[in-house]
Chains A and B, each alone.
Chain A
């Protein structure tokens, strides 16, 4: 947490993938993933083709593997689930690596792993090649309601400020000898979260007042 762990979501670059308009990239990601999800689970040649397209895109966009691979760990919980799937699913059984497992379960587990991995890699490629503010503009062009885009913009703009505030509170706690190791410390952590909420809320009020005093129109130019 905190500054040491603050990692980029974006890899600067001037490749064709970087320069493509954000709303087209978002639509392409959604369309591509809908096709991937709708593909029957044993159509392995199709999955190989999707993966090839994706790898080609990653190579063209010059997204380093050192950026991609650590961030792909978000799918680990589902790898665990996929490993369990052949054992809990029903249907005809088959032998795999000397174990008796459900055949549809095994197929579904493989398909889940393939589809989720393609999804994570494709989403990370979009994030890596699109700056957050471009992403917001793209969402706006895709008719995400103006207010929703604004909420997301404020969240992205202030999330580091709030996370840093939390990090400073943690340093303060620990410099006073706090060590979170058991359930007995939940009270302290709960009060930390409450202080963080009050500070975030009050910051929101200050931001709003500052905007209004500079002549901000909350309707965003629409009346």
Chain B
């Protein structure tokens, strides 16, 4: 296994064991199971019998891409979380499966994220992160004209919103099952504020990757399918031949 060394492993913080109480952990575990069952059905519509190899390879891609350091300056760097990117590229249900698989592997093989917090992590990053991102994407695409050029800004905005949305959901869970008395108002402000900064980075990276894939293989971008089918064949006879 490609085990990222700790120095390059400054990835998003996964909730460990003991951060939320046992009953909240069990409840989010149940939510995660229900969400995964729905995602398995939905992914079959997106990928039919190719689901297992395709989702597996995309999960490996997300895992590897999270290791790319995007330099911010002053020796620090950020990295991609990838939920909205995966949703735009392969569809929301497959993205939920991919992110959940990545979280499962990180938890079981690298102890990144506690096993009792696995449901919490899948709920936050898989269900809320991808779900909110996909809803925002649909909303923006409903407003913008259905063209390939609309996909990149829609994906970037969706990524921008999805990160603080997951942070807000975490604050909500903490209000129910948090183990330390932290004033919730300031926790929410700190979480959403900091994750908006992370979301800005996520938005830029997601936009860059989506636009680069659109430039060479627009047919692989799930979020661009409606724009592609609406596109008609265009004849561009060269001026020299006409003359």
**A and B held together in a complex:** yes
Q: Is A222 an interface residue (CB 8 A)?
A: no
State A165–B209 Cα separation when bound (angstroms): 17
Q: What is the chain A residue whose CB lies nearest that of B80?
A: A193
Contacts of A172 in B (CB 8 A): none
A142 CB to closest chain B CB (Å) equals 12
CB atoms of A203 and B57 under 8 A apart: yes
How many Å from the CB of B46 to the closest CB on chain A?
Answer: 13
Interface size class of B (residues with CB under 8 A): 35 or more
Contact of B209 among A85, A102, A159, A193 (CB under 8 A): A193
Q: Enumerate A92-150 residues with CB–CB distance to B below 8 Å.
A: 102, 104-105, 108-109, 111-112, 114-116, 118-124, 126-127, 132, 135, 145, 147-148, 150
Q: Which residues of A contact B5 (CB under 8 A)?
A: 1, 5, 7
Is B139 part of the binding interface, using a Cβ–Cβ cutoff of 8 Å?
no
A160 contacts B22, C-beta separation under 8 Å: no
Q: Which 10 A-B pairs have the closest CB atoms?
A: A154-B56, A115-B18, A190-B208, A119-B17, A108-B180, A194-B212, A204-B57, A163-B2, A218-B49, A123-B111
**Which B residues are in CB contact (< 8 Å) with A198?**
213, 216-217, 220
On chain B, the residues within 8 Å of A7 by CB distance are 1, 3, 5
Tell whether A36 is near chain B: CB-to-CB under 8 Å. Answer: yes
Is the pair B67, A123 in contact by a Cβ cutoff of 8 Å? no
Residue in B6, B36, B69, B105 whose beta carbon sits within 8 Å of that of A70 in the complex:
B6
Provide the residues of chain B in CB contact with A120, threshold 8 Å.
Answer: 16-17, 111, 114
- Residues in A with CB closer than 8 Å to B40 are 145, 147-148
Nearest CB on B from A123, distance (A) = 4
The smallest beta-carbon distance between A42 and chain B, in angstroms, is 12
- Determine the chain B residues whose CB is within 8 A of the CB of A8 once the complex forms: 1, 3
B226 interface hit (Cβ, 8 Å): no
Contacts of A147 in B (CB 8 A): 40, 51-52
A192-B68 in contact (CB<8A): yes
